[in-house]
Amino acid sequence: MVETVRLAVQRADWPEAWLRSALGYEPRDMALFRQALTHRSASGPSNERLEFLGDAVLNLVVTQHLYERYKSSDEGHLTRLRARVVSATPLAEVGVRLGVGDVIQMGGGELQSGGFRRESMLADAIEALIGAVLLDGGFESAREIVLRLFDTAIERLDSTPILKDSKTQLQELLQGRAAPLPAYELQRVEGEPHAQTFHVNCSVEFESRRVSAQASGVSRRRAEQAAAQNVLDQLQPGGRT
């Protein structure tokens, strides 16, 4: 059934019709958006470079918006607020809402393993689409798309207490259960010295089970914070294990 849906939307006008209906954007250069919706496992140019660009735009737009919205917040609080908007989970939520999984192109192996449902796949595609909008329509178009797509996540900040960063929350949770402190492992660093991406794994022993999660960021500190948040998401009631 899922494959039938995917084939139905990937017709000759892919992805023009989807862009207009789901993203609400009128494209000029369709090649950019085909690339944005092409995973590296598929043939043709992948969305990795556009993802890199879109990540920077997303962070800039959200940072400026939060800076202007929360005028009395300090740098630490603004950083934690931003993490709630631009981390993998809210990005993937946007991807699910837009139906990105139905239109993304990927190789047969990824398709069979359900890659179009994977959080990281959806999050990467959203960032790549933002990068494509920047190149296709300019910064103001990209800014408008970002604020529209993430308005729910931003509005949710007002009703969600964010007092401590993810690493502190995780450490205090484990200490409260007399569990060992989390272990952070730098898995790899990619990119040129001026534009590096840090990939980190966070693992914990919690109530007789081992929980781990990976994340990436433009610094090791940010990658560790994101990985800690991913572990927290798993430890919360109803979280995946």
Task: Supply the residues annotated as catalytic.
Answer: 55, 127
Coil/strand/helix, residue 213:
strand
In one-letter notation, the amino acid at residue 3 is: E
Per DSSP, the residues of 27-53 read -S-HHHHHHHTB-TTSSSS-SHHHHHH
Q: Is the CB of residue 126 less than 8 Å from the CB of residue 91?
A: yes
In angstroms, what CA-CA distances link 12 with 7, 15, 18, 45, 175? 11, 8, 12, 19, 56
Find tokens 């492992």 and name the residue.
185
